[in-house]
Each structure stands twice: as structure tokens, then as C-alpha cells.
Amino acid sequence: MTNFIHSTVGAVHLGAALLSLLFGTGVFALPKATRLHKQVGYGYVAAMVVLNGTAFMIYHLFGKFGPFHYLALFSSLSIVAGMAPVVLKKPTDGWLIMHYQFMNWSVVGLYAAFWAETLTRTLPIRQFWPIVIAATTVTMIIGSYFIRKHQKRLLAMR
């Protein structure tokens, strides 16, 4: 059986991942612009900062900076791009849609990373990439559907 946690950093990474999934699902599902949404959202951001930070400390898969590190960088930039409009309230006309898009895609990316991480641990490497690409594609399609569906409703409320 594969050892799922390789180090203390790996354990922190796993804990942050589980919290990110919990908070991210909450933010995705909860009514927007409420106190609870903000609290859960800040929990998501904090968990993602730890998750992405620890991702840059893990090298056992490739032995060097690899594709998952680039995805962690992209994820970090998505979090910054999603939170900057909230903090700055700029652009004044489009801050909400920018926040909505970047944060929701951040959650969808987290789910795609969940599939990649889970499949890394369960499949032989020759099967890994095709199945990860398929799982990520399906995750992105489903995420896109829900983001577009709820965006229309959110914008209609404003």
C-alpha cells in the first residue's frame, strides 16, 4: 500500500486541501453576499494560501518544479485576482463579476486538483495522465455549467 503522507508538510497540505474543499463547497453552495458567505469565503482563502504554499514545498513526485507547481501558482494568482476586487471594490462596475468568476473557477480548479491528487495515488503512471485529463475536463465542464447558471441569477439580483 502506498504511503499517502510523505512528510509533515504533506500532512499540512492534506489538511489544508480538505479544509479548502469544505470551505470551497460551502462558498459555492451558500447564498452570496451574506455574513456566512464572507466568513466561509475567508476560511477558503486562508486554507488555499496554506494549500498552495505547501504545494511549493513538495517535490517527491517529479523531484523538481513540475506541472502541479505551475498549477499551484495559477491557483494562487486566481485567489489574488478574486479577492483584489473585493478588497479594492475596483473596477467599480465590474468588481463583483470578477470576484465571482475568479473565486468560482478557483473552486473548480481545486476539484480538478482533487482528482489529480487522488488518481496520482491510485493509478499506475501510464494510466495517470489520460485519466487525469479526462477527469479534469469533466470537472471543468460541470463547473462551467454551474458558474454560468448561477452567474445569471446573481446578476439578475443586482
Q: What tens digit of pLDDT does each residue of 55-110 get? A: 999 877 677 888 789 999 999 999 999 999 999 878 778 888 899 999 999 999 99
Between 32 and 142, the more confident residue is: 142
Confidence of residue 1 (pLDDT cuts 50, 70, 90): very low
Contact 53, 13 (CB under 8 A): no
Between 132 and 82, the more confident residue is: 82
Confidence of residue 32 (pLDDT cuts 50, 70, 90): confident
Q: Which residues of 83-108 are buried (b: 16+ CB within 10 A; e: fewer)?
A: bebeeeeeeeeebbebbbbbbbbbbb
Kindly tell me if the per-residue pLDDT of 124 is higher than 90. Answer: no
Q: Which sequence spans correspond to the domains of the chain?
A: 8-157
Contact 96, 84 (CB under 8 A): no
